[in-house]
A and B are shown apart, each in its own frame.
Chain A
Amino acid sequence: MRPPKPAGSLLRAFLLIAIFAADPGESEMSTWKDQLAGQIDPAWAEEIDVFETQIEQRRQGKLDEKIFAETRLRRGVYGQRYDNGQRHDGIRAQEISYPSGSLTKGPETAWDAPGMQRIKIPFGGVTPDQMDVLADLAEEYSDSVLHVTTRQDFQLHFVHIDDTPDLMRRLAAAEITTREACGNSVRNVTACPLAGVCRDEPFDVTPYAIAISRFLLGHPDAQDFGRKFKIAFSGCREHACGLVSMHDMGLIAVTKNENGQEKRGFECYVGGGLGAVPHQAKLFDSFLPEEELLPTAQAIARVFARLGEKDIRSRARIKFLVANLGIDEFRRLVLEEREILSEDERWTAYLSDVRDYNERTLREGKGVNPAARPEGFQEWYKTNVYHQRQDDYGVATITLPLGDLSAWQMRELAELARRFAGENVRTTVEQNFVLRWVSQSDLPDLYQELERVGLNEPGAGSILDITACPGTDTCKLGIASSLGLAGEIRTRLAGKFMEMDEAVRNLRIKISGCFNSCGQHHIADIGFYGTSRTFSSRKVPHFQLVLGGKWTENAGSYGLAMGSVPAKRIPEVLERITERYVKERAKGQSFQDFIRDIGKLELRDSLEDLMTVPAYEEDATFYSDWGDPREFTLGDMGIGECAGEVVSLVDFDLAAAERLVFEAQVKLDEEAYPEADELAYGAMLQSARALIKTEFLDVADDPDIVVEEFRKRFYDTEIFHNRFAGGKFADYLFRRHKSPPREHTRDHAHTLVEESQLFIEAAHACWERIAQHQVAAASASGSTAGPSVQ
């Protein structure tokens, strides 16, 4: 959509005088609402009007802040870091005194604080006209940058809440909604970016993805979830594109022959998900006929809304419901629900057009012209072009560093899409774009144009193509700078990319700023998630190294944590691991197999020296994060020494716990599940005991006593509670203590190992809080003593 054309010349003249009038408020200005009247679906227009009213109600204190928070989240309006009005500037915590004062848009969220707007793009499909609108919005309401997310959405940052209704109207006029982009709702429906042109798929999943996202958008049965619900489509089982296994509902296209006729359906999975404790999805139905897709999704939604956890957020995803009930019972309940649903014509109405769904090809496909090869083309072609199953057409991947592109680039890309690819643009879960239906003969010209606009980077799907969540840059929960680390790794690797061994080039790196795993670190060859550690009362940013996850086979397996490494040493860790892989791997050996063969124990030993942190006086750079010059420290050096001694006692015990959980991982790999379970449980007990010892040194090591003391001293008092996660990590210990597994499965053991890891992290964090508190108390009383041990 281009800027609106004013109605008539007289009116226009009037408006223009009003715009530049010295005296504001005298004339009646046009608004986006007026300008776009009639261009927006009436239901969507009304929703946005209602949202605008809710904004006004909240401003006047007539709408509860919690209700308003969930309302805006369901419209994709998210909070952003520092929106509680506090920011540590590297020297001290400063108040950001917004003019809105005490007015909030949610608990502890200042009204005027810049926020994030997520924009839902079903199956990642955008048209060039929509791209133009997105570019305009990025300039006018955000910071001129568009960010593509790991679920094919767009995000705009630093947006003021007052601008969101107009932003939404302009999107709605371009047929884009932000509804249910966040909040406890059905999130963006994702699909392979190659759907329709892929050589492996039995059929194109796109029209089904469109149908399900339309059907569930605002559906009354999908409004009462305890948590978000994510759906993904894949064209095949073997390749990664759809990442079906990590979704709440995953669908893989399959066909079968019935009475000589090909019948379409889906292999349907439920209950997958990343997050702090990842779950692989369970098979719900090996052949869900196409006409059952929508009613089954509706029935699943109803069961989830009815039986899913509502109070404990950390256990509210459908994965927990499926795990608790067991997949058989879950299936039975869903099928029962399916039986009683009243017939809805939308279930099948779209099916009559599904086979005709066909994306327009504007240009005739011709083979590559061998004569014209601009410099750099060949490398780019090798990594960034996919041959469609339709002869002479290719898919060009536009690699975006960290998922970002500027508004200008977006507009230029829209123009290139018009010229070379018609309407066929999609975002990908690897935070890139693809232009589909490009004639092979146009590729050299396209490449040259992409070079002109700075979008010609080779290396799509390679080690350079790093995925990172927003981390400490904009996310409120971020612990370490995932984007900063990703930027640093990219810069270092880019220079050597061409000389890199092919095997290393093809590895995937994914980084999250904390354990919540928005950056999908579980499914990377080499993953990282942010943590922090304290040394002599100063904080040091760290990342847990997660090795051996699998991106292929629809996110086929999850990696396990290897230990925390100081952020500033990660590039060295990466270098050491990849060099060793190049040198020692057997021919054709996958990274996962290589890691498994070396064994985690040995690998960890080989990295031990990189897990150390030099003293602050020796090298202060360790005490700030990548890309952020502010110091991480909250401590005071004068008091540090005493605190350090005591800290080291607890740290020692916590390190022992880390060692136990590490051994548990090794046992898990050896498929020794009872041992893995026992060790992971032991690690939690060990870290609980470490904390108890700060108050009660002679605590016995009987598990009953440890759990009882821990509950009394740290759980009931909420000292162990995380501000955001509450007591969820403590629940892991209590649950395992109360009910040891009746049978030892890989799933159980894997979950417990993950939980144990998180419990230890929480124990570290808890100790850091206690130490800070004691240091502050000591300095307030003038004492130089650190935390005391009795």
Chain B
Amino acid sequence: MELQRLGVKFFLHQSSQLELDDLVPVFHSWIQKKVVGDHILVDVHNYSHVPRGPGILLVAHEGNFSMDSGDGRLGLFYYRKQPLEGSLESRLGHIFETTLQAARLLEEESRLGQLHFKTDEFLLVANDRLKAPNTQEVFEQLKPGLSVFLRRLLDGDDFTLSRQEEPGERLTVQVSTGCSDDAEKLLARLS
């Protein structure tokens, strides 16, 4: 078994205006229209009353989507619950693709205010304290595979990786880049 429970978070750009509750009907319509590929969508849950929580949650069998503020900043968080096949890079590819597709859907959604997701900074979260405790060593081990993948995603743009060291928190890698491409462009590189 290898590390499977990985998550990705793309932050909302400051200029974005979002009433969290407005996402509820949007996520419901995703279920109605089955718009998320490879996912069995189950239900929507409104946690907007919980500070630093998952906000509005779309539960799927394979992984959950949420407009999350768990780390204090609002963003689209997707984390995988069911295992994927293949190498770390290909698993990352799958997870990023799913997240970016969801981000694109939200950016295009006319029922929401203009949303934009930042691509110059995002997070990779290892949601598994057994296999990936939040230590420097594990971070070092993760770096090579992650870097290979990021070079593809960012098409050669420079990036830096740093680990968030808050005690008790999951291993979280912050990726910072000079990338100014939007979610659509990044997505195109993954298909």
Please tell me if the beta carbons of B50 and A406 are within 8 angstroms of each other in the complex.
yes
Q: Which of A2, A4, A81, A629 contacts B28 (CB 8 A)?
A: A629
Q: How far is the CB of A340 from chain B (nearest CB, A)?
A: 50
Chain B residues with CB under 8 Å of A144's CB are: 53-54, 68, 70
Please tell me if the beta carbons of A82 and B5 are within 8 angstroms of each other in the complex.
no
Q: Which of A35, A135, A473, A629 contacts B25 (CB 8 A)?
A: A629
Please tell me if the beta carbons of B31 and A4 are within 8 angstroms of each other in the complex.
no
Q: How far is the CB of A419 from chain B (nearest CB, A)?
A: 14
Chain A residues with CB under 8 Å of B50's CB are: 145, 401, 404-406, 409
Q: How far is the CB of B61 from chain A (nearest CB, A)?
A: 6
Q: Mark B139-177, 1 if CB is under 8 A from A, else 0.
A: 001100100000000000000000000011110000000
Chain B residues with CB under 8 Å of A4's CB are: 129-130, 133
> A502 within 8 Å of B by Cβ?
no
Chain A residues with CB under 8 Å of B43's CB are: 81-82, 87
> B35 within 8 Å of A by Cβ?
no
Chain A residues with CB under 8 Å of B132's CB are: 19
Q: How far is the CB of B134 from chain A (nearest CB, A)?
A: 7
> A635 within 8 Å of B by Cβ?
no
* Segment at the interface with B among A88-96, A209-217, A646-654: A88-96
Q: Which of B45, B49, B66 contacts A490 (CB 8 A)?
A: B49
Q: How far is the CB of A148 from chain B (nearest CB, A)?
A: 12
- For the complex, what is the distance from the CA of A140 to the CA of B89, rounded to whole Å? 22
Q: How far is the CB of A2 from chain B (nearest CB, A)?
A: 7
> A607 within 8 Å of B by Cβ?
no
Q: Mark B35-59, 1 if CB is under 8 A from A, else 0.
A: 0000010110111011111100101
Known A20-B88, A24-B2, A98-B61; contact A82-B129, beta-carbon cutoff 8 A: no
> A17 within 8 Å of B by Cβ?
yes
- For the complex, what is the distance from the CA of A135 to the CA of B28, rounded to whole Å? 28
Please tell me if the beta carbons of A454 and B134 are within 8 angstroms of each other in the complex.
no
Q: Mark A396-430, 1 if CB is under 8 A from B, else 0.
A: 00000110111111010000000000000000000
Chain B residues with CB under 8 Å of A627's CB are: 24, 46
Residue of A with least CB distance to B27:
A629
Residue of B with least CB distance to A630:
B28
> B15 within 8 Å of A by Cβ?
no
> A18 within 8 Å of B by Cβ?
yes
Count of interface residues, chain A, beta-carbon cutoff 8 Å: 66
* Segment at the interface with B among A26-34, A49-57, A230-238, A299-307: A26-34
- For the complex, what is the distance from the CA of A192 to the CA of B89, rounded to whole Å? 53
Residue of A with least CB distance to B34:
A94
Please tell me if the beta carbons of B70 and A408 are within 8 angstroms of each other in the complex.
yes
> A553 within 8 Å of B by Cβ?
no
Chain B residues with CB under 8 Å of A25's CB are: 1
> B99 within 8 Å of A by Cβ?
no
Q: How far is the CB of B74 from chain A (nearest CB, A)?
A: 14
> B19 within 8 Å of A by Cβ?
no
Interface residues of B, dominant DSSP:
loop
> B81 within 8 Å of A by Cβ?
yes
Please tell me if the beta carbons of B49 and A404 are within 8 angstroms of each other in the complex.
yes
Chain A residues with CB under 8 Å of B3's CB are: 19-20
Please tell me if the beta carbons of B133 and A20 are within 8 angstroms of each other in the complex.
no
Q: Which of A20, A132, A411 contacts B145 (CB 8 A)?
A: A20
- For the complex, what is the distance from the CA of A96 to the CA of B85, rounded to whole Å? 23
Q: How far is the CB of A608 from chain B (nearest CB, A)?
A: 32
Please tell me if the beta carbons of A143 and B133 are within 8 angstroms of each other in the complex.
no
Please tell me if the beta carbons of B141 and A20 are within 8 angstroms of each other in the complex.
yes
Q: Which of A91, A132, A406 contacts B51 (CB 8 A)?
A: A406
- For the complex, what is the distance from the CA of A612 to the CA of B167, rounded to whole Å? 55
- For the complex, what is the distance from the CA of A19 to the CA of B171, rounded to whole Å? 14
Chain A residues with CB under 8 Å of B53's CB are: 144-145, 404-409
User: Which one of A23, A157, A408, A628 has the highest number of Cβ atoms from chain B below 10 Å of its Cβ?
Assistant: A408
Please tell me if the beta carbons of B168 and A19 are within 8 angstroms of each other in the complex.
no
Chain B residues with CB under 8 Å of A628's CB are: 24, 28
Q: Mark A452-463, 1 if CB is under 8 A from B, else 0.
A: 011100000000
Please tell me if the beta carbons of A411 and B168 are within 8 angstroms of each other in the complex.
yes
Residue of B with least CB distance to A12:
B137
Please tell me if the beta carbons of B54 and A16 are within 8 angstroms of each other in the complex.
no
Listed by A's residue number, 14 A-B pairs whose Cβ atoms lie within 8 Å are A16-B137, A19-B132, A20-B3, A21-B2, A99-B40, A144-B54, A145-B50, A404-B47, A406-B47, A406-B53, A409-B50, A409-B53, A454-B51, A474-B45
Query: Given A3-B134, A4-B133, 6 more contacts at CB 8 Å?
Result: A24-B2, A29-B2, A144-B70, A404-B49, A406-B70, A455-B51
